[in-house]
Structure formats: structure tokens, C-alpha cells
Amino acid sequence: MIFLKEKMKSLFKFSPLLFLVLAIFLMATPALATCDEQYGGVCKELELQIDKEVWDPANNSFKENLGIHDYKFGPDEEITFKLKIKNTGDETFDEVHVKDYLPDYLLQLSGDFDFTLYDLDPDEEVEKEIKVKVVSAGEFPDGQSIICVVNTAEAWNDKEKDKDTAQVCLEEKVLGVTELPPTGPENWFILLPFSLLAGLIGVSLLKFSK
């Protein structure tokens, strides 16, 4: 009985570490396939797939997501998203409908946000870019200088539906400021003689007092 209690104590002692290792393993394990659970819970791989990415100005490349520690877009700054719609099956899709859903604080600029693709052949992939703009600084929520939003895109036909997201973070910052403003008067050299004179007077008074 004592032995069992000691074992239970050891298990509870190390359980937080075990849960942490398990969580890291699950997050690091990629999904095997994009699928749709149908027919009694069986995972059926989708033949119609959509992938959404966002342009990262810091690395000059498209990324799946930009988190809180990545590049953050400022007020009125443009953001470029890329949509990739692919037919991974062996039959042509007569029609594929695609729609992009903008979150709050992003405004539509250019590109197709709601369109239909016709005759998407097997292994064919279509790429589309859309551009949006961050709202002005005055439209940021009160008390939040940084907010992260998720942009969602969907693709569907008469048989299947798939969706993907891309996260971006927005920061209420002033664009175009490359240097700090001066901290002292511009004509500081005019005050230099007065400073020297004040120093000499101070030294003379000190000697006189002695």
C-alpha cells in the first residue's frame, strides 16, 4: 500500500512535464492530409484544396502566418495575401467557387475577393493575389496598440469544401519616422559663450569666498 502511494506521488510530480512534452509533440506533428470527416467519421482526403499566405516584408517572402513576434503592419499600410486553389484529384472540376472573408481593421484594395474558377483540371493550381489596407490609427480599438486578426478564405464545389487562414498583427505606429527628433535647441552654439562665462564667474566667486 505504501509502495502504491509512493508511485502515485511520483506520477503526479512528473505529470506536468509529461503533459508539456505531449503538447509539444502534438504541435510539432504536421497534419497528414487535408480531409473531411464523412461516412461515419472516416477521414476522406479532399481533392479540392485552398492555401492562404501573407507577404512578410521583413523577409521578402510569403508566410503561412505572421505572429506577434513577426512583422507588424501599421495604420494605412498595405498587406498582400496569396490564394492557391488546387485540384488534387483525377477529374476536372467544372466550377470552383472562392470567397475571401476580411476581418475587422482590414479594408479591401484590389484583387478578386469573390470569384468562380471554371474547368479546373487535375493537378492544376491557380494563384490569386489580393491587397488590403490597414485602417487608420484612429480606428484602432481603445487601449490596444497591437491586435492580431485572422483572414479566412474558402473554396467549394458541389462535392467538397475547404478553407484556410492567415494571421497578421497590426500595430498602432507612426510610419516613415526614421530618426528621433532633436532633444535640445537647434542654435546650441549661441549659448556656448554664455555657458563659458557663467563657469568663469562661478570659479572666481569660489576663489573669492576662500
Q: What is the pLDDT of residues 134-177, one digit of tens each?
A: 999 889 988 888 999 999 999 999 999 999 999 999 998 754 54
Pairing of strands 161-171, 72-73: parallel
Greater pLDDT, 126 or 203? 126
Q: In the chain, count of helices (H) and strands (E)? A: 2, 12
CA 171 – CA 140 distance, rounded (Å): 9
In sign, the C-alpha dihedral spanning 165, 171, 172, 173 is negative
Is residue 19 pLDDT above 70, yes or no? no
Query: Which range has the worst mean pLDDT, 40-44, 50-54, 107-111, 141-145?
Result: 40-44
CA 170 – CA 134 distance, rounded (Å): 8
CATH class, range 46-171 = mainly beta
Residue 76: pLDDT band (50, 70, 90) is: very high
Location of C-alpha cell 500500500: 1
Q: What is the pLDDT of residues 188-201, one digit of tens each?
A: 445 555 566 566 66
Per the document, the length of the chain is 210
The three grid cell numbers given for residue 178, joined into one nine-digit string: 526614421
Give the start-to-end residue ranges of the domains of the chain. 46-171
Location of C-alpha cell 510539432: 28
One-letter amino acid for residue 68 of the chain: I
Q: What is the pLDDT of residues 198-208, one digit of tens each?
A: 666 655 555 55
Residue 45: pLDDT band (50, 70, 90) is: confident
Residue 20: pLDDT band (50, 70, 90) is: very low
Query: Which residues touch 153 (CB under 8 Å, ≥6 apart)?
Result: 50, 52, 81, 83, 98, 99, 100, 101, 163, 164, 165
Per-residue model confidence (pLDDT) at position 123: 96
Per-residue model confidence (pLDDT) at position 144: 85
CA 111 – CA 128 distance, rounded (Å): 8
Q: What is the pLDDT of residues 103-120, one digit of tens each?
A: 999 999 999 999 999 999
The three grid cell numbers given for residue 39, joined into one nine-digit string: 461516412
pTM score > 0.85 for this model?
no
Q: What percent of the chain has pLDDT over 90?
A: 56
